Amino acid sequence: MSSRFTDTLFQLVHSLEKAEKRNFKLYIKRNTGNEHLKIVELFDALDKMEEYDEAVLLKKLTSIKKPQLNNIKVHLYKQLLASLRILKSISSIDMQLNEQLDYARILYNKGLYVQSLKILEKLKETAREHYKYNFLIQVISWEKKIESLHITRSMQDRGMQLAAEANEVNYRVDMVARMSNLALQLYSWYIKNGHARNEEDEVAVKQFFYDNLPSDAHEQTGFYERLYLYQSYCWSAFIRQDFLTYYRYAQKWIDIYNANPLMIKVETGFYIKGMHNLLNAHFDLRNYRAFEYILREFKKFSETPLASHHDNHRVQTFVYISSATINQHFMLGTFEQGLKMVPELEEKLQQYAMFLDHHRVLVFNYKIANLYFGCGKYDIAIDYLQKIIHSNPDMRNDLQCYSRLLHLMAHYELGNSEIIESLVKSVYRFMAKMQNLTVVEDMMFKFLRHSILLPRTKVRAELEAFLMNVKQLEKNRFQTRSFAYLDIISWLESKVYDKPLSSVIREKYLKSKRSQPEKSKVPVKKTMARKDK
């Protein structure tokens, strides 16, 4: 296995942009006056390496002996972070606040506590403006320390005021912590399990949500309290496939940014995630026009300096816009057009490999497999599905299950009857083990098992019966959980009416679009959705 991204220093060096590398060289030169320091030689050597190999590295660095290497690497790592801190502090409110707090500490230690208090007072204003409650605790703590040790005569009743401020901030910090815990735990549940599999799952998620939701959560007016409240509602609704509620709270998520534009710069990552969820909500509800409008706005945002300033933001926008673009091809039935973006998408996935978690890559493999399946290129779809099937089975149980089911369907389409029976048994056992079986999947397994034994003249009747039975279950979300991952109804219709899958979906899109008003932002009647998160 390649050790390309196993060394932390190597990762950091290869994450740097040209401007950051240049800044590091200037920083070292300014602070040492020696351009030939061993850490600079190490930096240059690592920068030129495509994969980390310590033996090769030592051969290139004749001035560095093996026992010295670890210490020099640690030193280089610290210097890189120091140079980045100087370069990036202008664009980070958190780093600016910490820098000013450091200045206040320095002034206090010099005995200039009145000057220190002036900086702390300004810091409090800035921190409140940006809802930085955790930072406010540190500032107030320093103010209390100064007032306790010195007679500042700054104002009467200063102690009472600071005590009241401390109590208020502590309450807000506690509320933010509880709300963010709830949001994170719900999201973690989804990452592991996907959508609720049955009523037991739904009841458990609801119970957990209300047991951990603070009684006064809806009374909060702070930005972060509301942000995490809306996130929690989003994850809860999404898990339960209550897509209308999911849409409402995804919109509220973005609305608080629209009401506080300053926070887009402060919490850009959550803004990007909110746009992603709003797009997902419109996708789930088949809000074609609203989806197109939000995607267009999201792409505009991705071209702004704010979206491209940090690696995290740049990678996040790439991931979510790529995901939404593929979803749009699913909605429109334009699978062939969607395949055109695959080479560039895979190139970017390779480029951003060190920044992407395994879960995100699996989702893209599943989406690409669906594009190939929709185009009738089943053998290539199988190749992408194998990447998921052979990955960690504990990651996204739902994705594992439906990758296996789509893999089975692809073999059926290829006419590989000799392996269908064994595949049906294998996939059935896996989905049963993961408690992921619904009536729809059970019907699918029975159809695939029996249809391979029937003459082609009788398969159509089986397909028609299967389609009729599935449509009767369409409104029961627990029985049609698979609809969020596989467009089974459209697939069956394509077989029954002898049309390409893309044509069936395209006709549904054109019919539904005519019923939606221009620039609609209101969700319309829910149809099927192919799922990701």
How high is the pLDDT of residue 521?
Answer: 45
**What is the value of pTM for the model shown?**
0.84
3-class SS string, 162-220: HHHHHHHHHHHHHHHHHHHHHHHHHHHHHHHHCCCCCHHHHHHHHHHHHHHCCCCHHHC
Percent above pLDDT 90 for the chain: 61
User: If you write DSSP's letter for every residue of 363-391 in order, what string do you get?
Assistant: HHHHHHHHHHHHTT-HHHHHHHHHHHHTS
How high is the pLDDT of residue 33?
Answer: 57
Q: How confident is the model at residue 449 (pLDDT cuts 50, 70, 90)?
A: confident
pLDDT(3) > 70: no
Rounded Cα–Cα distance for residues 7 and 388 (Å):
26
Q: What residue type is 70 in one-letter code?
A: N
What token pair was written down for 519?
Answer: 């620039």
3-state secondary structure of 454: coil
Q: In the predicted model, what is the mean pLDDT of residues 375-388?
A: 96
pLDDT(179) > 90: yes
Q: How confident is the model at residue 34 (pLDDT cuts 50, 70, 90)?
A: low
Q: Is 94 exposed, middle or buried (0-12, 13-18, 19+ CB in 10 A)?
A: middle
pLDDT tens-digit readout, 321-343? 999 999 999 999 999 999 999 99
Q: How confident is the model at residue 2 (pLDDT cuts 50, 70, 90)?
A: very low
Work out the mean pLDDT of the chain and round it to a whole number. Answer: 88
Rounded Cα–Cα distance for residues 303 and 307 (Å):
7
The region of weakest confidence among 183-197, 251-265, 420-434, 504-518 is 504-518
The region of weakest confidence among 281-285, 306-310, 442-446 is 306-310
The region of weakest confidence among 109-118, 206-215, 431-440, 441-450 is 431-440
Q: How confident is the model at residue 463 (pLDDT cuts 50, 70, 90)?
A: very high
How high is the pLDDT of residue 516?
Answer: 66
Cα radius of gyration rounded to whole Å, the chain:
28
Residue pair 487/505 in contact (Cβ under 8 Å)? The answer is yes
